[in-house]
Amino acid sequence: MIVSFSNKEKKYLNFFTLLFVFFIIAFPKGGIKIQGIPLTWGYLILGLLAFILIFRDKKYFCKNHLLVLLFLLPFQITSIILIFLNDHTNFGFLFSFFIGFFVLPFIFFFTLSEYIEKIDKDYFFKIFKNAIFFIASYGIFLFFFRIFFGYFFEIPLLTTNFHDFKLLDFSKNIERGNFFKLISTYNNGNLYGICLLIMHPLFNFLEKSLFKKNIVRFSLILTISRTVWIGIFISEFFYNFIIKKNNIKGFFTFGATFLTLFVLLVLLLKKINFNLSFLIDSNLGGRLEIFENFKFLFFSKNPFFAIQEMVYLSVLKDFGLITFILFLISMFSPILIVMYKKEKFSDSNKSILLGLITYLIISFSDGAVPFLPTMAIFWFFSSLMLVNLNNQKYHSNKCF
């Protein structure tokens, strides 16, 4: 059954689409903290909207969305049981885990399923492009502002959390040599870079201006993050050879892009008094500490702390082999559904798919899972990609 909206409902949908892009993509950190837990405007609006919509009499669900929730369910059950049995060591990270793997999937694949299916994609793509260019431009501005003036330009409640005002220098681990990472409105270089890598192929596809594309690429270089640098290499390589489908031109385009990015990397490393050995750190920036006291178990007995930077190893350590396998199934489920359907795939959807795959690859090094913008962006674009595969819907008169 196909969902239809009146013109008035479409205007409301466009308005909330604008709010989503503004507060989840462009300004994800604006808000306050309650007992040390961030309460940002984007998630507050998203939560209130989902709460209101769940009580509607008639609901329509995209079949592919329900499949993702089914794939997620085994991981959700086993992880929550293990956390209950083994306890936890940090309530803030536990709260973030619950929001990222329980609440956000429920919102994007259940409560908002019909609305994401009927989103005005031309309108969304337009404001999405502008938002990506804005956060990249603002990030570059902020990077050099910090160099020239010695402090970060901040707008509390918008570009930074009210309770993080004037604390960016000390609380975000963003210093690299004589410089600070590019953080944009995400307040964290790795978080900005990882989230942008999910969205970068779609931006690359939609944006026709080479200047704007290069601004976004340059912003990713200035994150001074090896994970992000690897990610941009993967993204550009597969975009040129798979999305654009012009192997000869794609080869030269990728070669020119890679050479330019490499030169910029060398110059940047020299400027911050690092050498090329920074690119090959045997300790992976301290991430190998996760192997301390590591035991290979089917079900872990460790208290839950957080899904740390090296996502897959962290899940294996904190939950054990069985839950790790279920985690892989849940995270790869949108891709598995696409592969199973084998239907005609638009270039915009291919771009979204490439962004998701890039994220899942770089998660070997750093997936920024504890940070809500990452999971919100990952689940939203997974949801957006899946609604275009077919028009099959389930209809229900009651919420279940």
Q: 333-355: per-residue pLDDT in tens?
A: 999 999 887 667 888 999 999 99
**Above 90 in pLDDT, residue 377?**
yes
Helix axes 121-149, 7-20, angle to 10 degrees: 20
Q: How far apart are CA 244 and CA 23, in angstroms?
A: 31
Q: How far apart are CA 159 and CA 155, in angstroms?
A: 5
Lowest-pLDDT choice from 44-58, 143-157, 348-362: 44-58
What is the 3-state composition of the chain as percent helix, strand, coil, each rounded to the nearest 5? 65, 5, 25
Task: Please provide the distance, in angstroms rounded to a whole number, between the alpha carbons at the two ends of the chain.
Answer: 18
- Quote the tokens at residue 75: 């991981």
SS3 31: strand
- Contacts (Cβ under 8 Å, ≥6 apart) of 355: 197, 198, 199, 200, 201, 202, 235, 381
pLDDT of residue 111: 92
Q: How far apart are CA 146 and CA 142, in angstroms?
A: 6
In the chain, % of residues over pLDDT 70: 82
SS3 33: strand
Alpha carbon 21 to chain centroid, angstroms? 13
228 contacts 190 by C-beta, under 8 angstroms: yes
Highest mean pLDDT among 113-117, 127-131, 282-286, 293-297: 127-131
Mean pLDDT on 48-69: 85
Domain ranges of the chain: 7-396
Q: How far apart are CA 197 and CA 363, in angstroms?
A: 12
241 contacts 250 by C-beta, under 8 angstroms: yes
pTM, entire model: 0.89
Residue 52 to residues 24, 48, 49, 232, Cα–Cα distance (Å):
19, 6, 5, 39
89 contacts 303 by C-beta, under 8 angstroms: yes
pLDDT of residue 399: 34
Helix (H), strand (E) at residue 38? strand 37-40
